[in-house]
Amino acid sequence: MSKGRKVIYPGTFDPITNGHLDILRRAATLFDEVTVAVVAGGAKTPIFALPERIELITKVVNTLKFPAKIKVEAFTGLLTTYARKKGVKTVIRGLRALSDFEYEFQMALMNRHLQRDFETVFLMPDEKYVYLSSSMVREVARLHGDLGTFLPKAVLSAVEAKFRR
């Protein structure tokens, strides 16, 4: 793996969506190494356990154009602490709407306060994914709606299995 420009793409990824993958593809063209950092704890109660999320993300990453540039691992605690241990000073965050920007802007400023040389790079997904979120996917799944255009096939199967009655 390259020792060049590294970035972390953090998130819960519960589940990873085609919107996440769009951001990941873009990040892989801009950076030499992308670490998908899957949040192990936090305020959210995920439908998939941490090992399941890591397995699904890894399956999907292996189908991408640059799988060797992408690592998947779990992390807990502050993102800046994790990044410092990894020797990474940049994080990727996806922005879909103005409401995302307000939250992400606050997080970027807090992260920079915690670690002065920490930078956040915002990427916008393709317009067909602007409305897409894991929360919305979970809600559509709960109501047994069609998720085919929102999720990669491996993830689609896993989500459907979770919500079968």
> Is the Cα torsion angle 11, 14, 16, 22 positive or negative in sign?
negative
Annotation marks residue 134 as catalytic: yes
**Closest-CA residue to 38 (of 64, 62, 56):** 56
**Closest-CA residue to 72 (of 16, 26, 125):** 16
Q: Are strands 33-39 and 6-11 parallel, antiparallel or unpaired?
A: parallel
Q: Which helix (H) or strand (E) holds 29?
A: helix 18-30
Of the listed 6, 53, 134, 138, which one is catalytic? 134
Annotation marks residue 20 as catalytic: yes
Annotation marks residue 59 as catalytic: no
Of the listed 59, 86, 89, 96, which one is catalytic? 96
Of the listed 5, 44, 128, 153, which one is catalytic? 44
Annotation marks residue 113 as catalytic: no
Which residues are catalytically annotated? 20, 44, 96, 134
